[in-house]
Structure 1
Amino acid sequence: MRTGIELHEARVRYGPLEVLHGVTFAAPAPGLTVLLGRNGSGRTTALRTLAGTAPLTAGAVTWDGADVTRLTAHERARRGLCFVPDGPAVFGHLTVAENLDLADPKATPDLAPALDAYPELRPLLPRRAGTLSGGEQRMLALSRALLATRARVILIDEPTQGMSPAVTSRTYDLLVGLSTHACVLIAEQRLPPGLRGHAGRTAVVVHELRRGEVVFSGEASELSRRGRP
């Protein structure tokens, strides 16, 4: 049975500073989960902990009910976890086409799903990714997630950073589509307007972090009724 990915009583320290204070939450599979929090709330650390790039001080990570706390980031990736961190999440010295090819290094991927989702990238295929604008780099990073056909868990930190409103709206539609067959967890400062109700037939799950602790867990529609941003 697929239960998604979960944090259990997670504590993470950066030197003497504890960033997560016993955080517990679950992202169901399939489904779309939004991890809300302002800068410094711990949301980025929570994603990195799930991805295996930030070690736990205490607690556990489970995936489909199995403890994966001791698995490295690349071992989790092999099992189908795709992580898109915030900021420039591309290989700047490679071309756009070469970045897309890395979505599945064992095969020649069909680039059509990525280029259909973001046609803006088509004329940029021969350019080095490091020369793209922030929004274009974000599109490229997300395109690689679209091409990762074996991805079962997709973690994305601020997916629409630097994008225009039109591309932002299109991106959330893409994420809703991915969530029909995968566990999709995105970190945002505010709940995107298009996700306040329901994503298709499935309710959007929201967990809000504040100063390293979960202060709300429920459906997006419930958060909206409370008048929260």
Structure 2
Amino acid sequence: MRTGIELHRARVHYGPLEALHGVTLAAPSPGLTVLLGRNGSGRTTALRALAGTAPLTTGTVTWDGTDVTRLTAHERARRGLCFVPDGQAVFGHLTVAENLRLCAPAPHPDTTPALDAYPELRPLLPRPAGTLSGGEQRMLALSRALLTAGTCPHTQVILIDEPTQGMSPAVATRTYDLLIALSTRSRPTCVLTAEQRLPPGLREHAGRTAVVVHELRRGAVVFSGEASELSRPEPQA
């Protein structure tokens, strides 16, 4: 039985500063989970701890009930974890087409699924990825993750930090539709994203799809539950 990926009483330090204060949270599989929090809340650190790029000071990471705390990031990737960070998530010196081909199986790499998901990338195929706008780079990074999930049968967990950063509202909505589809396909995946705010429409999806939300503040979890249970933000005056 697959239970997803979890942090248990996780503490992470950057030098003398503690970024996570005994955080416990779970991202079920299959399903979509969103980590909410402002900058400095610990949401990015939580993702990095799950991916293995931020070592725990204390606590554990479990994956389908197995303790993987001591596995390195590349060992977790080999086991089926895909991590899309919020910074340099593409190879800037390679073209868009070359970035996509790296995630498609040889000898005949097919990047059509990525371009169908983000047709905006088609005219950009010959351009170096480093020359793209922020939103275009996020589309490329997400399309690489979609290709990995679609072509690698062992991919089980996808972690994405701010997947829609720089995207237009329409493309952002399409992106979450794609991620929800990933979590509910015939070979379902545990999808975990980190956002500053709950993406529009996810409350409405909650009745049809499992959308779990964990909200972090100052390195601690202050809410865990369904997206529909999260308090709506107060309207701006």
Report TM bin, short chain. over 0.9
Matched, 1:198 2:209: no
**Cα distance between partner residues in 2 of 1:21 and 1:30:** 27
Partner of 1:178: 182
CA root-mean-square deviation: 1.4
Alignment of 1:79-228 (within 5 A): 79-104=79-104, 108-148=108-148, 149=150, 150=152, 151-180=155-184, 181-199=188-206, 201-223=208-230, 226-228=231-233
Give the unaligned 5+ runs of structure 1: none
Offset, 1:108: 3.9
Look up the match of 1:22.
22
Q: Kindly state the Cα deviation for residue 87 of structure 1 after the two structures are TM-superposed.
A: 2.6
Aligned-residue identity in percent: 84
Aligned to 1:205, what secondary structure does the other structure show?
strand
Residues 83 and 156, structure 1, Cα contact 8 Å, conserved in 2: yes
Instruction: State the shift of 1:88 in Å.
Output: 3.2
Q: After TM superposition, what 4+ stretches of structure 1 lie above 2 angstroms from structure 2?
A: 104-109, 197-203, 226-229
2:39 corresponding residue in structure 1: 39
Q: 3-state SS of the aligned residue for 1:197? A: helix
Q: Partners in 1 of 2:44 and 2:143 — Cα distance?
A: 21
> So what's the TM-score if we normalise by structure 1?
0.95
Deviation at 1:200, TM superposition (A): 6.9
Contact 1:10 1:24 in 2 (8 A): yes
Q: Residues of 1 paired with 2:108 and 2:69: CA distance?
A: 32
What is the count of residue pairs matched by the alignment?
227
TM-score between the two structures when normalised by the length of structure 2: 0.92
Amino acid at match of 2:178: L
The worse-fitting range, judged by mean Cα deviation, of 193-202 and 80-89 is 193-202
Q: How far does the alpha carbon of each residue in 1:36-57 deviate from its partner, in whole angstroms, 9 at most, with x for none?
A: 0000000000000000100000
| Structure 1 position 201, deviation (Å) | 2.6
- Deviations, residues 66-101 of structure 1 (Å, cap 9, x unaligned): 011111111111111010000331000011111111
Which runs of 5 or more residues in structure 2 are unaligned? none
SS at match of 1:61: strand
User: Structure 1 residue 194: deviation in Å?
Assistant: 1.2
Taking the aligned partners of 2:68 and 2:104, their CA distance within structure 1 comes to 23
Give the AA of the match of 1:5: I
Residue identity in the other structure for 1:221? S
* 8 Å CA contact retained: 1:176, 1:200: no
Residues 42/108 of structure 1: CA separation in 2 closer, same or farther (3 Å cut): farther
State the distance in 1 between where 2:109 and 2:202 align. 30
